[in-house]
Structure 1
Amino acid sequence: MKRRSLLKSMAALPLMSLTTLPAWSAAPRRRVRPGDAGWPSASAWKQLGQRVDGRLLKLDAPFAACAGSAAAPACVAALEQLTNTYAIGDQPALTQTSGWLDAWSSQPSAYAVAARNTADVVAAVNFAREHNLRLVVKGGGHSYQGTSDAPDSLLVWTRQMNEATLQPAFVAQGCDDAPQPAVTLGAGAMWIDAYDAVTTRGGRYVQGGGCTTVGVAGLVQSGGFGSFSKNYGTAAAGLLEAEVVTADGQVRIANARTNPELFWALKGGGGGSVGVVTRLTLRTRELPENFGAVFFTIKAASDQAYRALIAQVVAFYASALFNQTWGEQIGFNTGNTVDVSMVFQGLDQKQAEAVWAPFLAWLGERPEYALEQPFRVVALPARQFWNLAFFKKYAPGFMLADERPGAPAHHGVWKGDAADAGWFIHGYQSAWLPATLLAAEQQAQLTDALFRATRHWRVGLHFNKGLAGASAADLAAARDTAMNPDVLGAFALAIIAGGDGPRYPGMPAADAQAAQGAQTASQAAAQRGRERAAAIGRAMTALRQAAPKAGSYVSESDYFIADWQHAFWGANYERLARAKRQYDPDGLFFVRHGVGSEAWSDDGFTRKA
């Protein structure tokens, strides 16, 4: 059955024969909201609070204190935390992204269970199912799509389930594989917690996210890339076992032998669609001697020179950098500049400099190019790469500490990521670019597409988010995940995106003048945002001329994408939908543009006919 024919003929799951799937059970057509007759009584909420040992929180609007005066101490305190991604994450009523223009805005759930253990999660899941509530799951809260919160819902907040335990000889339950080094992490752990345990203190590596405050569970369920994915594969491929609470309130172990379809769905099938993960065990790997990074920015004197520069960058990447050693990104900007922010592993500083020497020589021979930011190479012992204390001593400014009293000593964030705290998105699109574009006869097509795209917006090529060039073993492991198979043949994920500072509902105007004309200023800001979103769309349209069938990464993609099933999961969607119906036949777990979400309204409250 052809997918497009199916979509034209009926509103059903793509790539599926309905005769092979169990029908949705006769669940209620509409979830309840506060004020509805079916909304739980005060006594029912009290009973839930007792079952979770008092860890039920009634959530209020985070900036309610600003309604009277922006100078009120409570308002000032609420605003101050918006510069700290750790502080944002510690608030159940906030999300790390404040919203998306004309799409969604961050709004707190009605109640949250601040889960400390699996029993708390079970209690929350059972309560939501029994009372027909909208259920939301949040760990790190980084979802660009707004899936970490929903008004009028019950939130399962796993932030405090953040333990990290090294396993020197792990064997998954029911399996007879050889023991291997691993780490077991609670669902609320962030990647800085994992790196601190595994790398800084344990001397090994775990494939995780680049941003230190991203949640472990969410990243693994989305597939998961880190700076060194070309060498270590995806985070999802490193999952050995998970503990999951499914929609029936049962605690299940998922691994290659036990509940294998649930296990597979957790590996890149999207978070929050088939259950609540409470614990994960990931394999760890040997560390190289060094990790490092290369930074510089090049300015071209003309459009013609810029096009030639793009061609040279593409050719140089294909010949010298398209391998397991190099990751992160090169940005192609509207102002005829190229900025390089790449990482490497297994090289020392002189070796890294030698790799780039031919490219720098090419630049030096041509007066039409100038270095706006000088070429810089930093190499350091791999074990110190996420060690905040090391950076404080030897490279101040690379990482920023969570300076709040009582904050864990290892909690730091990369300086560049700190600017994203609470950001508000105007547009965000991604596409996996196939490695065939790096062939000599295809490079001109890629160069032209990149140049045309930069007439509208910046294009970032994230080389670590495409697995072409990885080892055969890591490609095989990624193939056994639910991710879109496009990632296997992609040399990079192209990201075209833009936004500005926090815009949480209830935030006061920046100053008195803005307050006096708040409505006019808001309308003007929205118009500017829409113009930026349109430019982002034009840039991606130009780039997709070189890769018209490219899929998108579920965690970094367009909120308004229409063909999301195919874009996010490709041919794997059919199998994912089967797992969804097996483990959540009533659709308790809802994530917009997540598996099975086509059966519900956009807000997840009303089942479609």
Structure 2
Amino acid sequence: MIAILSIFLVVLFAPGHVHSKCIAGELCWPDAQTWASFNRSVGGRMISVAPPASPCHDPNYDERACNAVRSGGNSPFWRTDQPGALQRTSWESFGEQRCLISSNRTAACFQGAVPVYAVNVTRAVHVQEAVKFASRHDLRIVIRNTGHDFLGRSTAVGALSIWVHHLQKIQFHESFKCSRGSDRGYSAVTVGAGIQWEELYRQAYQRKMILAGGGCSSVGAAGGYPQGGGQSFLSPLIGLSADNVLEYEVVTADGRLVKANACQNTDLFWALRGGGGGTFGVVLSVTHRTFPALDSLVFAPHNFNAPDTTTFQGLLTLFTRLNPSLSDAGWSGYFFSTSQSLTLTFLLPNRNVSYASTTLAPLLSYARENNIRIDGSLETYASYWDWHLQFQCGGQESCLGLNNLGVSDVFATRLIPRSLFNHEQDLLPKAMMHIMTELQVPATYAILGGGKVREPQDSAVNPAYRDGLWLLVSPLTWRDNATVAEMRAAANLVSQANKLFIDLTPGSGTYVNEADYNEPNWQQSFFGKNYPRLYHIKRRVDPTNLFTCHHCVGSEFN
């Protein structure tokens, strides 16, 4: 009865809390001898996984190791290198059973939702053995590279983790074809499942190429990001990441190593491009299409501060009305809004400052006429990599030294179709202001879509993405020792905020990688009309639901 009650209490924030698979502590869990035999089969690559803050707590206290944890705990790249660390620390917890860097040495350190074992795979055969072992013993497994998953799908209580971080291949191709008989080849790059965008961007820059990759460069280049769709700063110019995947190398639930592309395993290829990570198999590598480097890049870092909320609502309304024309002009990027300020992080590829200034003139003129303070300028960069280093990496040689994660937060998102900007366009800014001023969700932000993203593709990407102009986000953070009640209250609040956007956009959806954990009608919201086909493919390639995760295809029948 106690175990059942515990599961009920943490139902909101416990990755993998509802399961039909065998987990640690249950009678079905393999004995030590069986685990030892399995370890031999993977060349001794099995790891006993501890929570990342474990060295800071008795009885495992280690001063030197603890100092390393404290200095690296907010670095996304440090977290990637730890088999039990996630980028959002709340997913390491099982309710209030957690192990915090911030708590004192004598505080309890629980395993939480950190898997008990991981296989540090470096070869395809390691993955195949792990999949076969998990299938044979009906184990709960998760697939993890960087731990960036916003829904906690790369961890689970009592699970076996397939840790792909050390699959580090990068191979560029002048003309990649899915078979020898193919007529057309593409400039491309094949990357192992452990490669992160930071390294791939650097090598692509050296070859004068660009790709549709993550805005956060510590994200993995082969995992859930492209498998869920993958929105990029460059997506309006070259499409979503999933649109540009040419091939996956994947281990399926029966332990086979297969290639999925436009020439073979075409249904699986279709599903892997937009159907969600951790669902159809363990991806070992992905081949991305590459594009010639930008001729130039205009960056518009602008911050608008209004004297009051009424004046700001006028600015936000005008900004909303202008977004279709800004998208058509080629702008991409993010904006961030509080109840009295608007911050733009907008990019304009292959255009000059004069053109950029003309497109932004109505917004700037309105701000000046209404006593709204403007801080910003138009800056030019010779390459996307140069902009990345200067803006995202703080002028450093890379982003490896960044300390901007290791936080606890939750958010909900909605794809806002272009039609809403053309009709009843005042409803959206009014809803945003209501959320920020009345619901006390302190900010909203959005990713600008459109452009190349609007072009239909033969993939599982949510069709709502083709119509979406914004991916609108309602975020909240909390202290790392928040109670389950406080976390649940925050989650309920962002869900309440997001419902306003859902009601404004019937038939739309959201981005599967950055969605509300409690998303209502998630099959439609994540996948739209693609869900029946995705479910059929899932049942065929993984009939026992070996690969299962929260709100993944087929998870409703766990």
Per the shorter chain, which TM-score range? 0.7 to 0.9
Which residue is equivalent to 2:167? Answer: 161
1:375 to 2:379 alignment:
no
Which residue is equivalent to 1:448? Answer: 430
- Specify which of 497, 500, 514 is matched with residue 542 of structure 1: 500
1:169-227 Cα shifts (integer Å, max 9, x gaps): 111136513122100000111111221222x2110111111110001122111110111
1:33 to 2:23 alignment:
yes
Q: Is the 8 A contact 2:94 2:157 kept in 1?
A: no
Aligned residue for 1:540, secondary structure, equals helix
**Offset of residue 310 of structure 1:** 1.4
Aligned residue for 1:385, secondary structure, equals helix
Q: Is the 8 A contact 2:432 2:444 kept in 1?
A: no
- Specify which of 394, 400, 416 is matched with residue 398 of structure 1: 394
Paired amino acid for 1:123:
E
Aligned residue for 1:341, secondary structure, equals strand
- Specify which of 273, 278, 292 is matched with residue 272 of structure 1: 278
**Offset of residue 35 of structure 1:** 4.2
Which residue is equivalent to 2:361? Answer: 357
- Specify which of 352, 370, 383 is matched with residue 348 of structure 1: 352
Which residue is equivalent to 2:85? Answer: 94
Which residue is equivalent to 2:537? Answer: 579
**Offset of residue 459 of structure 1:** 5.0
Which residue is equivalent to 1:183? Answer: 189
Q: Is the 8 A contact 2:208 2:293 kept in 1?
A: yes
Structure 1 pair 153/261, CA: closer, same or farther in 2 (3 Å)?
A: same
Paired amino acid for 1:134:
R
1:462 to 2:467 alignment:
no
Q: Is the 8 A contact 1:460 1:495 kept in 2?
A: yes
Which residue is equivalent to 1:256? Answer: 262
C-alpha separation in 2, matches of 1:179 and 1:542 = 45
1:495 to 2:477 alignment:
no
**Offset of residue 458 of structure 1:** 4.4
RMSD: 2.6
**Offset of residue 529 of structure 1:** 4.8
Structure 1 pair 115/172, CA: closer, same or farther in 2 (3 Å)?
A: same
1:325 to 2:330 alignment:
yes
Q: How does 1:143-292 map to 2 (within 5 A)?
A: 143-173=149-179, 176-198=182-204, 200-217=205-222, 218-292=224-298
Which residue is equivalent to 1:80? Answer: 71
C-alpha separation in 2, matches of 1:52 and 1:102 = 29
Structure 1 pair 175/385, CA: closer, same or farther in 2 (3 Å)?
A: farther
- Specify which of 576, 587, 590 is matched with residue 548 of structure 2: 590
Which residue is equivalent to 2:519? Answer: 561
C-alpha separation in 1, matches of 2:369 and 2:26 = 73
Aligned residue for 1:328, secondary structure, equals strand
Paired amino acid for 1:161:
L
Which residue is equivalent to 1:56? Answer: 46
Which residue is equivalent to 2:11? Answer: none
C-alpha separation in 2, matches of 1:162 and 1:65 = 28
Paired amino acid for 1:385:
D
Aligned residue for 1:188, secondary structure, equals coil
C-alpha separation in 2, matches of 1:30 and 1:366 = 59
C-alpha separation in 2, matches of 1:479 and 1:171 = 18
**Offset of residue 309 of structure 1:** 1.2
Q: Is the 8 A contact 1:203 1:383 kept in 2?
A: no
- Specify which of 385, 400, 408 is matched with residue 412 of structure 1: 400
C-alpha separation in 1, matches of 2:386 and 2:298 = 8
1:308 to 2:290 alignment:
no
**Aligned length, in residue pairs:** 521
Q: Is the 8 A contact 2:247 2:287 kept in 1?
A: yes
Structure 1 pair 386/91, CA: closer, same or farther in 2 (3 Å)?
A: farther
Identical positions, percent: 27
Which residue is equivalent to 2:138? Answer: 132
Aligned residue for 1:252, secondary structure, equals strand
Q: How does 1:500-519 map to 2 (within 5 A)?
A: 500=478, 502=480
Structure 1 pair 209/142, CA: closer, same or farther in 2 (3 Å)?
A: same
Higher relative contact order (CA 8 A, sep 6+): 1
Structure 1 pair 222/68, CA: closer, same or farther in 2 (3 Å)?
A: same
1:16-40 Cα shifts (integer Å, max 9, x gaps): xxxxxxxxxxxxx953333444322
C-alpha separation in 2, matches of 1:501 and 1:89 = 22
Q: Is the 8 A contact 1:452 1:542 kept in 2?
A: no
C-alpha separation in 1, matches of 2:393 and 2:127 = 39
Paired amino acid for 1:39:
W
- Specify which of 66, 69, 76 is matched with residue 56 of structure 2: 66
Structure 1 pair 540/278, CA: closer, same or farther in 2 (3 Å)?
A: same
C-alpha separation in 2, matches of 1:311 and 1:430 = 20
C-alpha separation in 1, matches of 2:509 and 2:498 = 12
Q: Is the 8 A contact 1:166 1:197 kept in 2?
A: no
Paired amino acid for 2:424:
Q
Q: Is the 8 A contact 1:185 1:280 kept in 2?
A: yes
1:599 to 2:557 alignment:
yes
1:307-334 Cα shifts (integer Å, max 9, x gaps): 2111211223233x12262112222313
Aligned residue for 2:378, secondary structure, equals strand
Structure 1 pair 311/572, CA: closer, same or farther in 2 (3 Å)?
A: same
C-alpha separation in 2, matches of 1:173 and 1:501 = 52
Paired amino acid for 1:92:
P
Aligned residue for 1:92, secondary structure, equals coil
Q: Is the 8 A contact 2:211 2:289 kept in 1?
A: yes
Structure 1 pair 307/37, CA: closer, same or farther in 2 (3 Å)?
A: closer
1:267-321 Cα shifts (integer Å, max 9, x gaps): 01011111001011111112221224212222222333222111211223233x1
Q: Is the 8 A contact 2:436 2:444 kept in 1?
A: no
Structure 1 pair 92/307, CA: closer, same or farther in 2 (3 Å)?
A: same
C-alpha separation in 2, matches of 1:46 and 1:102 = 27
Aligned residue for 1:216, secondary structure, equals coil
C-alpha separation in 1, matches of 2:283 and 2:385 = 30
1:466-524 Cα shifts (integer Å, max 9, x gaps): 3x3x24xx544x53121221111111110011114656xxxxxxxxxxxxxxxxxx55x
Which residue is equivalent to 1:507? Answer: none
Paired amino acid for 1:495:
V
